[in-house]
Amino acid sequence: MKNEQNEALNIDNDPSTVVQPRKKTMSEAALAANRANAKKCTGPKTREGKFKSCLNALKHGLYSHNFIIKTEDVDVFDNFSKSYIDEFQPATPSELELLKQLISAAWRRNRISELIQLRIDQAIDTVLAKPAPLPGQDTNAHVTLRAFEHLEYQKPSFARQESHELRLASVFQRILGRLQSIRDKKLRNETKFARDRLSFAA
């Protein structure tokens, strides 16, 4: 009797004896409807639609992973990028691309500036923790001087970080010049078009 019960339990627990439910097959009409719906969900197809999609992605921080590092705040970056979008209001893909480059250069320059400031503050704290080498050398100017001397022996090179900040500032100015040139040209064209319409109407 025990053997029969054990065999019954083994059969019940054997995955090969479990009856699998039959998969439902879709009708041709349902398959055709699914294919038609899939075609509708492939995103924007026109140039204008794709541009708006990219602009929305930048507005809502979907590009933020290309700009920020783990220790930075996504919300701060979103507000930062939105301020540039509001100022320049890009209307073409090339303007949007230039704007992304401008935001990247500005954001990275700010990052380097913060790192430089942090290193200077840390160096000042290190100097203040030690007594002044000579009487009268505890003034702010002397402390700052010793802090910068301390930084000269640290890695990464402080001078290299400063030069990197200057390079990013230069990149920012070049991109800004190109964007402003595009905006000025667009304004001139719009003004000329308005004048031509007025003269034609007269």
pLDDT tens for residues 145-155? Answer: 999 999 988 88
Q: Global pTM?
A: 0.65
Taking residue 11's Cβ as centre, other Cβ atoms within 10 Å add up to: 10
Radius of gyration of the chain (CA): 33
Query: b/e for 147-176, b at 16 or more Cβ within 10 A?
Result: beebbeeeeeebeebeebbeebeebbeebb
Nearest-angstrom CA–CA distance, 79 and 200: 45
pLDDT tens per residue, range 35-56: 766 566 555 556 566 676 777 7
